[in-house]
Amino acid sequence: MAMRESLTVGAAAAETGWSARMLRYLEDQGLVLPRRTAAGYRLYGLSELNRLRSLRELRRRFGIELTELAFARRLRREPELRHAVDAWLATADDGGSWVEWEQRKHERLLAA
Amino acid sequence: MAMRESLTVGAAAAETGWSARMLRYLEDQGLVLPRRTAAGYRLYGLSELNRLRSLRELRRRFGIELTELAFARRLRREPELRHAVDAWLATADDGGSWVEWEQRKHERLLAA
DNA sequence: ATAACATTACCAGAAGCGTGTCAACGTTGT
DNA sequence: ACAACGTTGACACGCTTCTGGTAATGTTAT
């Protein structure tokens, strides 16, 4: 079965710390796309394995959701979207008003 | 009650097509932050009203979630996060493999 | 003084996300 | 041929998002 140079889904899961289920889910979400054998088996190569490992790290360090990552991808590929979002954020963020607001939010959370 | 130049929450809702409830929610999420009167009433000025209108437009045209918008804001204010995400996406998107994948996803959706 | 608005604090319900698990069935190494 | 792995599809559960409601209370215009 080995097919050295590429791991099948269970092996890739064991290697990266994800579950096989999640590897399929990540493919569904378009975040990590393995090749397939003729029979349809997923094949994870080095680049996919690294991608999976660094994805865990990303989530751990920054608390990112998968949907947010998918959205970041949309931002790069859809210039129109990117510009609209940028424009919207720009008109908000020049007033420094929300800094104080975040301060208050933080206080609210601490009080709980 | 008028206080021309600024609308209270109900009037701002009527004006922008949101519900008063949602205006309070949007404030909670830090997306549109009105000033307050001494008694604590929210006051929406022109810039907030425009912000509210364009927010509806953003959602309508692009199907954006509020969390995604909040994430886009994080991306602008946290350079470390931005770089990490960019790096992660870059290693994926140079292989053109995902274009075909999106094609297949589209087909799956049509078949439903 | 009263009606019409505002405030916060809750509960509720529909929809989506992140996971696990199970069933029915196909592939592969020995 | 058989065990061990893979495939898709479905159901389920806990959590969060978005949205509406209600209750108890404060403010303001007339």
| Chain B interface disruption, residue of A69, A89, A105, A106, most B CBs within 10 A | A89
Tell me the average pLDDT of chain B: 90
CA A65, A68, A72, A78 torsion: positive or negative?
Answer: positive
Cβ burial A80-107 (10 Å sphere, 16+ → b, else e): ebeebbeebbeebeeeeebeeeeeeeee
Q: Which chain B positions have a beta carbon within 8 Å of A87's beta carbon?
A: 54
Tell me the average pLDDT of chain A: 90
Please state the domain extents for chain B. Answer: 1-65, 78-112
Residue A1 has pLDDT above 80, yes or no: no
Per cent of chain A over pLDDT 70 is 91
pLDDT band at residue A107 using 50, 70 and 90 as cut-offs: confident
Which of A55, A81, A97 lies nearest to residue B88, judging by beta carbons?
A55
Architecture of the domain delimited by B1-65: Orthogonal Bundle (1.10)
CATH 1.10.1660.10 fits A1-66, yes or no: yes
| DSSP-assigned letters across all residues of chain A | ---TTSB-HHHHHHHHT--HHHHHHHHHTTSS--EE-TT--EEB-HHHHHHHHHHHHHHHHH---HHHHHHHHHHHH-HHHHHHHHHHHHHHHSSTHHHHHHHHHHHHHHT-
Instruction: Name which of A90-94, B46-50, B92-96 the model is least confident about.
Output: B92-96
pTM: 0.88
